[in-house]
Amino acid sequence: MNDSLLRVFSSGARAAMLPILAVCLSVSLWSIGMGQSEDAFGDTGADPVKLFERGQNAHGRGDLIKALELYDEAIKVRPEFAEAEFQRANILTTLNRMADAEAGFRRTIELRKNWVLPYAVLGALLTRIDRDKEAEPLLRQALKLDGSNDVALTMLADIRLRAGDSKEAVNLARRATANKDASLATWLLRALAERAAGDHTGALASLDHVLAVEPLHLTALIERAEARVANGNKDLAIQDLAAAEPLIKGERVSASRVAAAYELAGKTEEARRVAESAGILKPAGGPTDGIKVVGAPEEIEAANSEDFETSRKALEALLIKNPNSAMLLARLGTVYRKTDPARSLDYYRRAVEIEPKNADYATGYSSALVQARRFPDAVVVLRRVLAVVPDNYAAHANLATALYALKQYPAALSEYQWLVKSRPDLAIAYYFIATSHDYLGEYEQALEAYETFVSRADPKTNQLEIEKVNLRLPMLRRQIKLGEGVKRNRKD
């Protein structure tokens, strides 16, 4: 495999591993055998087992600071307490205290040399912080202790794939997917390894498995499109690319891959559109993928930087050389949207004036209007965008925000319901659906949406909303019990 392809596979493999890392670094609280259940110290506060059990309870509730304190106390009483050391290290990982977590896992291994979990999880932790050479022997030791350990198999497959050893990566990934509960991320990793090994048939089968469960999995769609192009099945590849496009949302690596795949499939115009939408710049006279811009190569490179300040300066310099570039104007509108809404609006307005039919620029303009709290203007622009591009996700999201802010709850509900139909995992949309129903006095619908939100929300990301809902629910249930509110339409 050539270097450019290897970089693509390595990038994809690392992206595929992120969900697995999240799982394997938060091992179940209840998977640890205590080895003893008797209270050897009576009912005193110095009983390490009781302290550990209290730590487990706090850990299970998500009270990490309290759990950490209790694990620390248990270890002070019994320094050789391996299970407490292991769970303490798990919490330190969650708190992003990586050096302390590493020390904790190493201490656990010293205490219990034949326990597979600390080897596997420490190996995963080191992989996460790009210390593959140190991680690999730990993961291999974990497999010596338990040849079917999912964490060790998956992490080691990831390491071997990025090292260019696709043959062993395939072998390890296939062993990992032999587990009927293997995650989609593991199946995706298997597909990446199979592609790297030249097994396009196997890769397509693995990608079909991922997409059968999650049809809108962006990375899997792109991988399958690329594999189909390689197999000469361009029509099906184009179908995958069309499905992937709405999911990109400005992410440049994915946009670049989609544009390149379109180019290989003979769809030059589609490749140009995707590149332009994502603002992928190329020097004038350079390769055909991307938008040609007059400027020095180092200016182009800086403009494509993920660092906003670097990108901003380079874009402003390029705009002087390319004053009528709608794409450069729109990119600057994106850069300034959160820090300087007025300037962002001006750049987007100028982009739309140059290319009035470009839905992406109009959507960016409306986003800047929302940021500037000019909601009525945003609604007008967004309605126009959706009349032309009815499935534009960003336009629906911005329209929902604008209508909600204007207290036009029935119209906002329609938009939020479109969003959750498109992305059922979008927990926060259920919060706004619930509060919209609540404001309209539709208490039964509100309760249903609140409960859906709480069941799907991330306790960290959505902490404030969860607290608000928990305060509201008791009163809401009483109101429903008393027969208050607008009754549900039983035909719904």
Q: pLDDT tens, 148-183?
A: 898 899 999 989 988 888 899 999 999 999 988 888
Residue 359 lies in a domain: no
pLDDT at residue 250, as a whole number: 67
Quote the CA–CA distance of 103 and 167 in Å, as a whole number: 33
What residue numbers bound the domain in which 455 lies? 415-492
pLDDT at 16 over 60: no
Contacts for 23 with CB less than 8 Å, ≥ 6 apart = 183
pLDDT at 46 over 60: yes
Query: Which stretch of 129-138, 352-361, 449-458, 467-476 has the lowest confidence by average pLDDT?
Result: 352-361
Residue 480 lies in a domain: yes
**For 267-340, where are the alpha helices, taking DSSP H only?**
268-278, 297-303, 308-321, 326-336
pLDDT at residue 327, as a whole number: 80
CATH number, residue 449: 1.25.40
Residue 471 lies in a domain: yes
Residue 460 lies in a domain: yes
Instruction: Report, as an integer, the average pLDDT of 433-448.
Output: 92
Taking the CB of residue 111, how many other CB atoms lie within 10 A of it?
16
pLDDT at residue 224, as a whole number: 92
pLDDT at residue 33, as a whole number: 41
pLDDT at 423 over 60: yes
How much of the chain is in helix, strand and coil states, percent to nearest 5? 75, 0, 25
Instruction: Report, as an integer, the average pLDDT of 475-487.
Output: 85
Which band of pLDDT confidence, cut at 50, 70 and 90, is reported for residue 13? very low
Residue with tokens 């390769």: 287
Tens-digit pLDDT profile for residues 329-359: 888 887 777 677 778 888 888 888 888 777 7
| Contacts within 8 Å (CB) and 24+ apart, 84-87 | 84/48, 84/51, 84/52, 84/55, 85/111, 86/27, 86/32, 86/117, 86/118, 86/121, 87/29, 87/32, 87/52, 87/55, 87/56, 87/59
Which band of pLDDT confidence, cut at 50, 70 and 90, is reported for residue 287? very low
Quote the CA–CA distance of 60 and 28 in Å, as a whole number: 9
Tens-digit pLDDT profile for residues 180-223: 888 888 999 999 899 888 888 899 999 999 999 888 889 899 99
Query: Which stretch of 15-19, 88-92, 141-145, 249-253 has the lowest confidence by average pLDDT?
Result: 15-19
Handedness of CA 168, 169, 174, 180 (dihedral sign): positive
451 CB burial (10 A radius; 0-12, 13-18, 19+)? middle
- The token duo for 215 is 């049809």
Which band of pLDDT confidence, cut at 50, 70 and 90, is reported for residue 488? low
Residue with tokens 């839905």: 359
Residue with tokens 């992406």: 360
- Are the C-beta atoms of residues 13 and 160 closer than 8 Å to each other? no
- Are the C-beta atoms of residues 415 and 399 closer than 8 Å to each other? yes
Contacts for 231 with CB less than 8 Å, ≥ 6 apart = 200, 204
pLDDT at residue 152, as a whole number: 92
Instruction: Report, as an integer, the average pLDDT of 270-290.
Output: 60
- Are the C-beta atoms of residues 415 and 396 closer than 8 Å to each other? yes
Phi, psi torsion values for 291, nearest 5 degrees: -100, 125
Residue with tokens 């996700």: 393
Q: Spell out where 227-384 has E strands.
A: 281-283, 291-293
Residue 492 lies in a domain: yes
Which band of pLDDT confidence, cut at 50, 70 and 90, is reported for residue 290? low
More confident residue, 290 or 343: 343
* Domains identified in the chain, total number: 1
pLDDT at residue 381, as a whole number: 84
CA-nearest of 116, 50, 113 to 84 is: 50
Instruction: Report, as an integer, the average pLDDT of 408-421.
Output: 91
CA-nearest of 409, 361, 404, 359 to 384 is: 359
Quote the CA–CA distance of 169 and 158 in Å, as a whole number: 7
pLDDT at residue 294, as a whole number: 67
Phi, psi torsion values for 292, nearest 5 degrees: -75, 130
Q: Spell out where 284-322 has E strands.
A: 291-293
pLDDT at residue 262, as a whole number: 85
Rg for the chain (alpha carbons), in Å? 26
- Are the C-beta atoms of residues 122 and 109 closer than 8 Å to each other? yes
Tens-digit pLDDT profile for residues 217-262: 898 999 999 888 877 888 999 999 999 988 887 677 788 788 878 8
Question: What's the N-to-C CA distance of the chain in angstroms?
Answer: 56
Tens-digit pLDDT profile for residues 106-141: 999 999 999 999 999 999 899 888 888 999 999 999
Residue 488 lies in a domain: yes
pLDDT at residue 31, as a whole number: 43
pLDDT at residue 487, as a whole number: 67
Quote the CA–CA distance of 438 and 237 in Å, as a whole number: 45
Residue 491 lies in a domain: yes
pLDDT at residue 433, as a whole number: 94
pLDDT at residue 144, as a whole number: 94
Instruction: Report, as an integer, the average pLDDT of 97-110.
Output: 93
Residue 126 lies in a domain: no
pLDDT at 486 over 60: yes
